[in-house]
Amino acid sequence: RSFIRVLGGATLISIAGGIGAFVYVTQKERHPGSQLPYDTSKKTIVILGSGWGATSLLKTIDTEEYNVVVISPKNYFLFTPLLPSVAVGTLSPKAILQPTRYIARHKARAVTVIEAEAKEVDPFNKTVTFEDETEIKGKVSHTTIPYDYLVYAVGAEVQTFGIPGVQEKACFMKELNDAEVMQRRFKDCIESAAFPGQDDAEIDRLLHIVVVGGGPTGIEVSGEIHDFLEDDLKAWYPELAGRIRISLVEALPSVLPMFSKQLIEYTESTFKESKIDIWTKTMVKEVKDKSVILQMPDKSIKEVPCGMVVWAGGNKGRKITQDLMGKFPTLQTNKRGLTVDDHLRLAGADSIFAIGDCTSTSYAPTAQVASQQGAYLARVFAQMAKKEGLEAKLSELQKTETVAVDTTEKTGVQSEIENTKKMIANVKIRPFHYSHQGSLAYVGSDKAIADLPFANGNIATAGVATFLFWRSAYLSTLFSLRNRTLVANDWLITKIFGRDLSRD
Ligand code: FAD
Ligand code: NAI
């Protein structure tokens, strides 16, 4: 009995300890302590963007060495891999957002966070002009600031290829607002189909969801819509759920060209079981109010009625990026994005680094690449600060040498000069090296696919275990304890109570 009592006591102590540690960690997150003020004697780094590249840099950079200013139209970081889960209500929007000020508050020196959209970069005068684009504006809503270094990390926007109707009539899956719009429209389609007296053809039209693009975004969105249908809609709309159709349209001969062949086949067979139609070699030519116009593999044109189109047709450069390229017409000629060297310096410009989806490199435009580039730049800035510090010390020593009077003093200073020169020579800024950690995608029905690097090769895995790995990988990649808690909580709530059906 005493053993049980000791065990019980130990358990209670460890639970209390666990709660104490949790409270301490969360309190520390909320009250991170004081920061050093902005220092005009230090160089200023202006970071454009608050996405994967910018946030990874902000998390890693040593702000003791620089003043840091972040400018972004969104005052938060969006965890894009879980965005399709928000679109069907598996997760709440807040779970995958991290306010940029939370990250900035944990730095040693105060970081300036400005919610504004950069409108122009002047690489010759080293300035950025930005504007408050929100509904409420103060007396000042447009200004220009100088930078010593600029980190250009504005990402990309959705590529529509100028196809008629896409911009105005389709839903996208890039920003948080896109997921919210899609969720609202999808629920609207179902409620309109349930309207009394709706005829059969109209019900079938409203319940036909067309997803365009067989890249990972299109695949994950289709999988998530299917889960919503199976897990919730079948119970709440039994007379309609069986009539919901999901069609995935892809212009290329296969979906997910970046994954291994067996994973493509696995995805196709999972979609077949889930009754998601895949139309490859089929190109969307127009999006209309109630239909899509398709060019079929035999080049014939077909009009397909549908209630909603989700467009996941890839990336293109933002206008500000195209304008910046236009300032270096002979060097910035790659239509896919900004050309950078192997140290991520913008070709043709002085003191500008560009990272992530706005660049055109040999890497895919992924979060993995952008975040590694952000962390790399933090190391580059640390090395640059170290070098500048040593150079300043060298110049001081050289001044001392010229005024030194006795030989012993002169010899001492000379040896220190030699040492400092060696230290400067040892400060190496290596080129960016990308380390691929694997590709993962959710395909619906609690199944995921993964191409993981192993030794010098690759392991392809798929199924429910891979889905659990997918979940744990993204849970651990989330930037904060707050987000991890919210996401884990939402997964649990969805499992127990299902997804919310209300349409706001
Ligand atoms: P972003 O993360 O897009 O950030 C750009 C930032 O710039 C944003 O904060 C934006 O508000 C800001 N900005 C825009 N215009 C301006 C301006 N004019 N001035 C200042 N700031 C501006 N990749 C993976 O590796 N794994 C995944 O599982 C994965 N899943 C994804 C799922 C979805 C639905 C999507 C859409 C993408 C996914 N990606 C994934 C790709 C990944 O999100 C991108 O590659 C990544 O976001 C690129 O990072 P970035 O910093 O270049 O751009
Ligand atoms: P994508 O560029 O990978 O795929 C877009 C697809 O749309 C292409 O296959 C293209 O052929 C097709 N398409 C374009 N126009 C079309 C038309 N008119 N008709 C029919 N099909 C058309 O774009 P996606 O999926 O948005 O991904 C963008 C980037 O983000 C990629 O680098 C991707 O790897 C990354 N990403 C990674 C994820 C993951 O790792 N799980 C998830 C989502 C995105």
Query: Is 320 close to ligand 1, i.e. is its CB under 6 Å away?
Result: yes
Cα of 135 to ligand 2 centre, how many Å? Answer: 32
The residue length of the chain stands at 504
pLDDT band at 18 (very low <50, low <70, confident <90, very high): low
> What is the Å distance from ligand 2's center to 248 Cα?
12
By most ligand atoms within 8 Å of CB, the mutation choice from 323, 357, 373, 436 for ligand 1 is: 357
Distance from Cα 428 to the centre of ligand 2, integer Å:
37
| Cβ-contact 246, 277 below 8 angstroms | yes
**Cα gap 330→347, rounded to integer Å:** 10
User: Using CA positions, which residue lies closest to atom 42 of ligand 2?
Assistant: 216
For the segment 163-205, what is each residue's pLDDT rounded down to a tens digit? 999 999 999 999 999 999 999 999 999 999 999 999 999 999 9
Q: What is the CA radius of gyration of the chain?
A: 27
53 lines ligand 1 (CB under 6 A): yes
What spacing in Å lies between the alpha carbon of 85 and ligand 2's midpoint? 17
pTM of the model: 0.94
Q: Is the CB of 81 under 6 A from ligand 1?
A: yes
To 5 degrees, how large is the angle CA 169–CA 174–CA 175? 95
pLDDT of residue 19: 59
Ligand 2 cavity residues, CB under 6 Å: 81, 161, 163, 212-218, 220, 249-252, 258, 283-284, 312-315, 364-366, 439-441
Among residues 232, 246, 383, the alpha carbon closest in space to that of 307 is found at 246
Q: Which atom number of ligand 1 is nearest to the Cα of residue 440?
A: 28
- Evaluate whether 256 touches 286 at the Cβ level (below 8 Å): no
Is any atom of ligand 1 closer than 6 Å to the C-beta of 388?
no
Question: Is the CB of residue 101 below 6 angstroms from any atom belonging to ligand 1?
Answer: no
Closest ligand (CA of 363): 2
Say yes or no to pLDDT of 470 above 60: yes
pLDDT tens, residue by residue, 330-383: 999 999 999 999 999 999 999 999 999 999 999 999 999 999 999 999 999 999
Q: Residue 4: pLDDT above 60?
A: no
Distance (angstroms) between ligand 1 centre and the Cα of 155 equals: 5
Q: How confident is the model at residue 38 (pLDDT cuts 50, 70, 90)?
A: confident
Q: Does the pLDDT at position 1 exceed 60?
A: no
CB 250 within 8 Å of CB 282: yes
ipTM above 0.95, yes or no: yes
Mean pLDDT of 305-314: 98
Q: What's the mean pLDDT in 268-281? A: 97
Which atom of ligand 2 is closest in space to residue 252's alpha carbon?
Answer: 11
Q: How far is the CA of 111 from the centre of ligand 2 (A)?
A: 35
The Å distance, Cα 59 to ligand 1 centre, comes to 16
Residue 75 pLDDT greater than 70, yes or no: yes
Q: Which residue out of 58, 72, 324 has the highest number of ligand 1 atoms within 8 Å of its CB and is therefore the one to mutate? A: 72
**Residue nearest (by alpha carbon) to ligand 1 atom 4:** 51
Measured distance CA(250)–CA(247) in Å, rounded: 10
Distance of alpha carbon 407 from the chain centroid: 61
The CB of 51 under 6 Å from ligand 1? The reply is yes
**In angstroms, how far is the first alpha carbon of the chain from the final one?**
57
pLDDT value at residue 7: 54
- CA distance linking residue 317 with residue 157, whole number of Å: 6
Q: What span, in angstroms and rounded, lies between the C-alpha atoms of 344 and 375?
A: 12
337 close to ligand 1 (CB < 6 Angstrom) = no
